[in-house]
Amino acid sequence: MEFSSKLLENAVYEMSQLPGIGRRTALRLVLHLLRRPDDQTHRLSDALRSLRDQIRFCANCHNISDTELCEICGNPKRDERLVCVVEDIRDVLAIENTGQFQGHYHVLGGKISPIEGIGPQDLNIESLITKATLGKIKELIFALSSTMEGDTTNFYIFKQLEGMTLITSTIARGIAVGDELEYADEVTLGRSILNRIPYEKSLKTS
């Protein structure tokens, strides 16, 4: 693809680095931005720069936040002893959209995957075990996707919790095996949260 402007070429290249964006789509987006009023493009640029420079991670649950504690952990109406373990921010948003969960979250930042070189030490597991050891958790809900990596991560955490006095449960299998939470519809996901089952039972039936 030949460009008459180096500035245009650079913008298209950077845009095409985003997931799911090819060079033709990137060119279309860049040309669209050029046709928009200056202030709209500047607001987008400022928002992205602020996101990159100022974003933080919640000190309690590792969710994306503007402050030390995210809005969920800072809400006194939420049950801090009910903790839902998820892979990333997209799963938090998916569950929050159901309106069926009023506890806290713990964002792992991924799943154990030996093929990709991701081990337990690369995830936010140690801080979760620490909270459980201190008796801050009454029930831990596993809400990772029903994949081999998700099941491996669930089982690893479950084994770390052996001997501790807390309930471990998992979302009901209204979510198809292999599906990611972010793609589940809100009704199905909400029912899976409400109809969660003891984790030990899921081991016997899987």
Whether 104 and 151 map to the same domain: the answer is yes
Which of 82, 41, 39 minimizes the C-alpha distance to 61? 82
Residues of the chain with pLDDT under 50: 176-178
Residue 85 CA, chain-centre distance (Å), reads 9
Whether 24 and 106 map to the same domain: the answer is no
Judge whether 1 lies within some domain: no
The CA-CA-CA angle for residues 72, 76, 78, to 5°, reads 55
Q: Which residues pair with 59 in a beta bridge?
A: none
Q: Provide the pLDDT for residue 178.
A: 42
Q: Provide the pLDDT for residue 8.
A: 94
Instruction: CATH number of the domain at 120, please.
Output: 3.40.1360.10
Domain span at 36: 6-54
Give tens-digit pLDDT for 123-139.
Answer: 999 999 999 999 999 99
Judge whether 111 lies within some domain: yes
Q: Provide the pLDDT for residue 2.
A: 76
Whether 50 and 79 map to the same domain: the answer is no
Burial (CB count <10 Å: 0-12, 13-18, 19+), residue 82: middle
